[in-house]
Amino acid sequence: MLEDYQIITDWYEKYSDSIQSFIYIMVHDFQQSEDLMQDTFFRAYRKLDTFKGESTEKTWLFSIAHNVTIDFLRKRKTLQLFKGVFRETPSGDTPESVYMLKEENNELFLALNELKDQQKLVITMRKIKGFSIKETSEILGWSETKVKTTLHRALPVLESKMKNRGIFYEKVT
């Protein structure tokens, strides 16, 4: 029991911020994302004996976070996924560059909101959170082909929406 507690504590220190920002993207409520992140780690602690190591602990935790959040959204009956994107700014940036980054993030947020839910989900998992196709498929319970196809279709749509907003960036592949 004490060993399980230490494992979850270590994982919490390592992944809690990332998981909370992932949840925030789905619920767009900081306090609620904090609560759901706590629920994620509580559920992970209770189910730690089911973790077989077939995936990374990060993938396993994000899968739990996804399920906890979807359960919450279903109960609320408002399935509005991905209201925004967090992007950390490096320290030492000038006020102007921080302002521009925030503006670009806002435009990305608005463009993402115009996408279909599944497109937002796969772009967030693959391009923002950096999960592999395999990890994304495990977390979402999709086939790898569905992840690839959805991403392949979503990126040009996002690019078009960004261009319509006057934001040009290097193509994401």
The domains of the chain are located at 1-80, 87-173
Q: What pLDDT is recorded for position 155?
A: 85
> What number does CATH give the domain 1-80?
1.10.1740.10
Burial class (CB in 10 A: 0-12, 13-18, 19+), 1: exposed
- Between the alpha carbon of residue 71 and those of residues 13, 26, 40, the distances in Å are 24, 12, 11
In this structure, what token pair is assigned to residue 88?
């950390």
Q: What pLDDT is recorded for position 68?
A: 92
- How far, in Å, CA of 120 to CA of 26, rounded? 10
> What number does CATH give the domain 87-173?
1.10.10.10
**pLDDT tens sequence across 112-171:** 878 888 898 888 888 878 888 998 998 889 999 999 999 999 888 888 887 777 765 544
**pLDDT tens sequence across 102-120:** 556 677 777 887 888 889 8
Q: What is the pTM of this model?
A: 0.57
- Between the alpha carbon of residue 91 and those of residues 16, 98, 132, the distances in Å are 21, 10, 28
- How far, in Å, CA of 121 to CA of 8, rounded? 26
